[in-house]
Structure 1
Amino acid sequence: MLRDDFIFEGEYVLISEDGENLRTRKTPIAFKANGKFWVNNHAHILKCYEEHMNNLLIYYFQSLDLHEFITGAVQPKLNKSRLCVPFPFLPTNVAEQKRIAAVLSSLDDKIDLLHRQNSNARGHGRGSLPPLVHRTSPTRLGGEAPPVKLLIF
Structure 2
Amino acid sequence: MDKRVLLICSGGGHLVQMQRIAVAARTTGTLTLATVAAEQELKGDVYDAVVSLPDFNRQSPFAALMGIPKVFFKVIFLRPTHIISTGAAPGIIGIIAGRFVGARTLWIDSIANTRRLSVSGRIALRVSHQVFTQWPSLADGHKVLYSGRII
Q: TM-score, normalised by structure 2?
A: 0.25
Higher strand fraction (1 or 2): 2
Q: TM-score, normalised by structure 1?
A: 0.25
Computing the radius of gyration from Cα coordinates, the structure with the larger value is 1
